[in-house]
Chains A and B, each alone.
Chain A
Amino acid sequence: MAVRTTFGSTPGSAWINEHRKWVLAAPALVFVGALVVIPIIYTVVLSLTDARGSILSEFSFIGLENYAAVLSDTARFWPAAWRTFAYTTVALSLQMSLGLAIALLLRRPFRGQGIVRVIILLPVVATPVAVGMMWQLILEPNIGVANHLLESIGLPRGSFLGSQSTALVTLAIIDAWQWTPMVTLILLAGLSTLPEEPDEAARVDGATAWQRFRFVTFPLLRPTFFAALALRAVDALKSFDVLYAIKGPGGGSYHEAETLNIYAYSLNFSHNNYGIAATVLTLFVALTLALVTLLIFRRKEVRP
């Protein structure tokens, strides 16, 4: 890649330049590696043991017994897996569609657009724990503001976070409230780099706005869209702060908000069952990796 072949004055600098690929990347890779590899190994090892109570107390290896127990656990594990899937799907669908819609809305310049951009940044930068508590207070069925407002315009009261059937969806909506602006910003940035000619050409040819969007804009936007989707998918799967702040470690009375992440946390810290917790986490990470790989391959497929 270099045009020159003779480098700087000192031999050290020559070596550095020669091997700059790894010299530059090494610190980051070593750092990340050390902090990830060891916990992964530790977690997988733990998942093969019956460790519980105190880590310092003795435990024995029981092979894949934990995995058998967890994968056949229809009381807690599979519902948690289902909830993780449901929560992520609802949150992502909302975020991506609304995010795209709002990005298209804000695309062309308008008066006050600077202020609007700052405003939509606010939920993204707000502290998740604080956001969770704020929404908890607003959505409280008996004394919260939300039901008061609904009543005053004639709509029925809702139980939002209070009912087993609506809690998870409400939480997904809160997640969407907080992160849709991020999707919007990413897509806006993507939209701004799109060339204008294809769109102009289509307009001249008489295409409607919807046709222009579907056949010109969106295909060009696809890489960005999937980048944002992958980003948000990983974060949504790992959602913790808001769920913990609102429903606590157990995910509520009926475990209605218990996703795999929350379940693993409660196994670790409430029940001190490290073996099973490690098993759940290993499965969870494997699932996430599979999903992300799928998304990445999908994106590579459609790249022009």
Chain B
Amino acid sequence: MSSVPHARPARRQPARARAYTVFRFCAIGVVVVTILGPLLWMILAALKDNVDIFNSSRIFSFAPTLKNFVTVFAEESFLDFIVNSLLVGAVSTVISLAVALPASYSISRFVMRRSKTFVLVARIMPAVSLLVPWYFLFSRMGIVGSYTVLVITHMFVSVPLMIYILVGFFDGLPLELEESGQVDGLTPIGAFLRISVPLSMPGVATACILAFIFSWNNFLFALVLASNSTRTLPLSLYNFVRYASVDWGGLMAASVVITTPIIVIALFLQRYIVAGLAAGATKG
């Protein structure tokens, strides 16, 4: 990792450490710029007229306008989309958790390898192969275009994801705690509910946050299965792609609006995400 060649042992630590620190800060700086750069540009573009967006020499010197955001909220009734995304995200996350949490516990404690593999296989299926038969089934059931069908399909993505995270988490939870609970008089299920579940809160937090984020960003299912009144946010981006023009400013503004809530969530809850990934990754 270090590019500084060997020096004599007596003087090695200080010079080397200093060089490494400088290198480290530069490298981290490069990473931060690479990530923030395009995103900041997107925000700037959202504040520009279309004319200015295409004029690269005016990256920073332009007359800012809120017109694009007005378009997004006023003309494209974005609030409806936001409500839909929130609703579908929240409901699918909650129900997914109710289903995935007990299952993850079981798979972990009873080392149900085949079940675990089965669930992982579900993650591998490409969405395209599912869409047409799903539509067929759901339209027979009469629920296409409703929130129900969106929740169900989003759950299909969330449940395996949650199981993946939570199984790893439970694997890392020592058995002694539950066993001592049973010594104290709890049934196995009681031990699960009163001891394992509360202890799994960090993992639950991660699983829920990630599931919600992926539901929020989901594009393909809503594209095919949502109706006009239940459409979610990513779909709305295509409202700006018109037959005779592409409203890039509006599109960038809409992108900013779509990603902002998630960024706020990430800001406040990043601890859970990181902590949960630990449990899932090291044992999963």
Q: Do chains A and B touch in the complex (CB under 8 A)?
A: yes
Contacts of A33 in B (CB 8 A): 118
Nearest chain A CB to B121's CB is how many angstroms away?
A: 7
Q: In the complex, which residue of chain B has the Cβ closest to the Cβ of A187?
A: B281
Pick from B45, B59, B281: contact of A227, CB under 8 Å: B281
Chain A residues lying within 8 Å of B27, measured Cβ to Cβ, are 105
Whether B239 sits at the interface, judged by CB under 8 Å, is no
Say how far A183's CB is from chain B's closest CB, in angstroms. Answer: 10
Tell me the B33-57 residues at the A interface (CB within 8 Å): 34-36, 38-39, 41-42, 45, 53-57
Which residue of chain A has the shortest Cβ distance to B153 in the bound complex? Answer: A35
Chain A residues lying within 8 Å of B284, measured Cβ to Cβ, are 227
B220 at the interface (CB under 8 A from A): yes
CA A228 to CA B132, docked complex, whole Å = 31
Q: Give Cα A119–Cα B98 distance, bound, in whole angstroms.
A: 31
B99 touching A289 by the CB < 8 A rule? no
User: In whole angstroms, what is the CA distance A75 to B238 when docked?
Assistant: 31
- Nearest Cβ in chain A — how far from B180, in angstroms? 9
| Chain B residues whose C-beta falls within 8 Å of the C-beta of A119 in the assembled complex | 32, 35-36
Could you say which of B123, B188, B273 has the most chain A C-beta atoms within 10 Å of its C-beta?
A: B188
Quote the shortest CB–CB distance from A176 to chain B (angstroms).
11
Contact for B255 among A22, A32, A133, A261, CB less than 8 A = A133
* Binary CB contact string for chain B from 157 to 183 against chain A (1 if under 8 A, 0 otherwise): 001100110000000000000010011
Pairwise interchain contact B112-A4, C-beta atoms closer than 8 A:
no
B34, B53, B124, B252 interface centre (most CB from chain A within 10 Å): B124
Q: Write out the residue numbers on chain B whose beta carbons fall within 8 Å of the beta carbon of A268.
A: 128, 131-132
Considering the chains assembled together, what is the distance between the CA atoms of A134 and B156 in angstroms? 28
Q: Which residue of B lies closest to A128 (CB)?
A: B217
A76 vs B36: C-alpha distance when bound (angstroms): 38
| Smallest beta-carbon distance B164→chain A, Å | 8
- Whether B282 and A193, one on each chain, are in contact in the complex, defined by CB atoms closer than 8 angstroms, is yes
Evaluate whether A121 and B266 lie within 8 angstroms (CB atoms) in the complex, with A24-B192, A189-B277, A261-B126 already known: yes
Instruction: Tell whether, in the assembled complex, residue B122 and residue A36 are in contact, meaning their CB atoms are under 8 Å apart.
Output: yes
**Interface-side segment among A13-21, A61-69, A250-258:** A13-21
Q: Are A288 and B128 in contact, CB atoms less than 8 angstroms apart?
A: no
User: Is B189's CB within 8 Å of the partner chain A?
Assistant: yes
Does A156 touch B at the CB level, under 8 Å?
A: no
Please report which residues of chain A, range 242-279, place their CB below 8 angstroms from some CB of chain B when the two chains form the complex: 261, 264-265, 268, 274, 277-278
Q: Return the CB mask of B71-102 against A: 1 if under 8 Å, else 0.
A: 00000000000000000000000000011101
Interface of B, secondary structure class, is helix
Distance in Å: Cβ of B195 to nearest Cβ of chain A: 13
In angstroms, Cα B251 to Cα A124, docked, is: 20
Binary per-residue interface labels of chain A (1-27) against chain B in the complex, 1 for a CB within 8 Å, 0 otherwise:
111100110000100110011111111
Q: How far is the CB of A141 from chain B (nearest CB, A)?
A: 12
Among A17, A23, A277, chain B packs the most CB atoms within 10 A around the CB of: A17
Contact check, B183 vs A135: say whether CB atoms are below 8 A apart.
no
Contacts of B203 in A (CB 8 A): none
In the complex, are the beta carbons of A128 and B128 less than 8 A apart? no
Answer yes or no: A43 CB below 8 A from chain B CBs.
Answer: yes
Residue A240, interface by CB 8 Å: yes
**Once the chains bind, are A121 and B273 in contact (CB under 8 Å)?**
yes
Contact B234 A31 (CB under 8 A): no
State whether the Cβ of A29 lies closer than 8 Å to any Cβ in chain B.
yes
- Judging by beta carbons under 8 Å apart, are A190 and B282 in contact? yes
B187 to chain A, nearest CB (A): 5
The reply to whether B237 and A129 contact each other, CB–CB distance below 8 Å, is yes
Report the nearest B residue to A194, measured CB to CB. B282
Which residues of chain A are near B127, meaning CB under 8 Å? 238, 240
Is B106 positioned at the interface, with any CB of A under 8 Å from its CB? yes
Alpha-carbon distance between A186 and B122 when the two chains are bound, in angstroms: 22
- Closest chain-A Cβ to B258's Cβ sits at a distance in Å of 5
CB distance from A29 to the nearest CB of B (A): 6
User: Cβ of B259 < 8 Å from any Cβ of A?
Assistant: yes
Known: A127-B259, A148-B56, A189-B274. A17 touches B112 (CB 8 A): no
Do residues B136 and A55 form an inter-chain contact, with CB atoms below 8 A? Answer: yes
Quick check: is A201 within 8 A (CB to CB) of the other chain?
Answer: no
A158 at the binding interface (Cβ < 8 Å):
no
Any B CB within 8 A of the CB of A138: yes
A125 to B255, CA, bound (A): 12
10 contacts between A and B (CB under 8 A): A28-B163, A31-B159, A35-B122, A35-B134, A42-B133, A110-B25, A117-B274, A130-B258, A186-B281, A264-B126
Besides A2-B187, A20-B189, A36-B125, 18 new A-B residue pairs in contact (Cβ under 8 A), listed by A number: A7-B187, A17-B188, A21-B106, A25-B103, A32-B159, A32-B160, A125-B263, A126-B39, A130-B254, A138-B41, A181-B35, A186-B281, A189-B278, A189-B281, A190-B282, A231-B164, A240-B220, A289-B124
Chain B residues with a Cβ under 8 A of chain A: 1-2, 6, 24-25, 27-28, 31-32, 34-36, 38-39, 41-42, 45, 53-57, 59, 98-100, 102-103, 105-107, 109-110, 112, 115, 118-134, 136-137, 152, 155-156, 159-160, 163-164, 179, 182-183, 185, 187-190, 192, 213, 216-217, 219-220, 233-234, 237, 248, 251-252, 254-255, 258-259, 262-263, 265-267, 270, 273-275, 277-278, 280-284
* 5 closest cross-chain pairs (CB), A and B: A148-B56, A28-B103, A189-B278, A24-B102, A130-B255
